[in-house]
């Protein structure tokens, strides 16, 4: 039994990168973990890794830009595990085009649907029950681009992460009085598959200096372990060597 025993956690974008590491780390602490992403085979692999060490994992394939699939994933989680204690809005994408001129409107819309609108819809799906229960935690994995928009991250990505920061603030305004908390985690450069889309190649040595998936996972576990009287509303992270 771990400190997160009997907690049910939904992790979006759980098939790789930060999301995979978060799911595995939370399961290792005793949580029941619902894995959400599009790639079924990748989710099954993560679930198998969790189950191999005695953890509980549920595979919930979903396109997070589709509202119906989001609500279906939340309902499937409730049916399997009961009340949802923690939601980790981690799903995110970027595109190679970073400037306003290069970014097509359709690319902009799709990126915001995945990075921001999905976080809103997942939150909307779990928040009423959390309020009614008087307990719940929503962790929004964003980016330092929410604090310092930049062309390296791109116009669409930076905008989506600023939007997530506003969403996080509103969750706290609505939820704190009844025991619901939200924290936005803003990592700087992180060694995830998104880095493959950077216009300029990043060497292995440079990537090893970045924030790693296990660092974000440890941060999420720390937040999940805090008593509900404590609300950490923002964590800003930077690589030490940058």
Strands 86-89 and 234-237: unpaired
Cβ(208)–Cβ(158) below 8 Å: no
Are 210 and 189 in contact by the 8 Å Cβ rule? The answer is yes
CB of 94 closer than 8 Å to CB of 142: no
Quote the CA–CA distance of 146 and 139 in Å, as a whole number.
Answer: 15
Nearest CA to 91 out of 159, 196, 161 is that of: 161
Q: Which of 156, 157, 158, 175 is catalytic?
A: 157
Q: Are 184 and 168 in contact (CB under 8 A)?
A: yes
| Distance of alpha carbon 91 from alpha carbon 73, whole angstroms | 14
Is residue 71 part of the annotated active site? The answer reads no
Which of the residues are catalytic? 157
């Amino acid at each position: 039994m771990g400190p997160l025993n009997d907690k049910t956690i939904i992790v979006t974008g759980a098939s790789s990168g930060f999301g995979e590491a978060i799911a595995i780390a939370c399961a290792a602490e005793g949580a029941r973990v619902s894995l959400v992403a599009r790639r079924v085979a990748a989710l099954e692999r993560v679930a198998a890794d969790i189950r191999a060490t005695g953890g509980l994992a549920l595979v919930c394939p979903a396109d997070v830009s589709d509202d119906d699939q989001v609500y279906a994933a939340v309902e499937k989680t409730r049916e399997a595990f009961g009340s949802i204690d923690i939601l980790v809005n981690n799903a995110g994408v970027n595109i190679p085009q970073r400037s306003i001129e290069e970014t097509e409107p359709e690319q902009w819309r799709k990126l915001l649907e995945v990075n921001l609108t999905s976080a809103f819809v997942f939150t909307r799906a779990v928040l009423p029950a959390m309020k009614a229960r008087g307990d719940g935690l929503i962790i929004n994995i964003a980016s330092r681009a929410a604090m310092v928009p930049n062309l390296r991250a791109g116009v669409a990505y930076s905008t989506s992460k600023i939007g997530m920061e506003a969403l996080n603030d509103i969750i706290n305004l609505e939820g704190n009085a009844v025991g619901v908390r939200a924290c936005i985690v803003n990592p700087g450069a992180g060694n995830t598959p998104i880095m493959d889309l950077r216009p300029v190649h990043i060497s292995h040595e440079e990537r090893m200096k970045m924030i790693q998936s296990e660092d974000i996972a440890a941060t999420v576990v720390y937040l999940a372990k805090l008593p509900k009287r404590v609300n950490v509303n923002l964590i800003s992270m930077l690589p030490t060597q940058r």
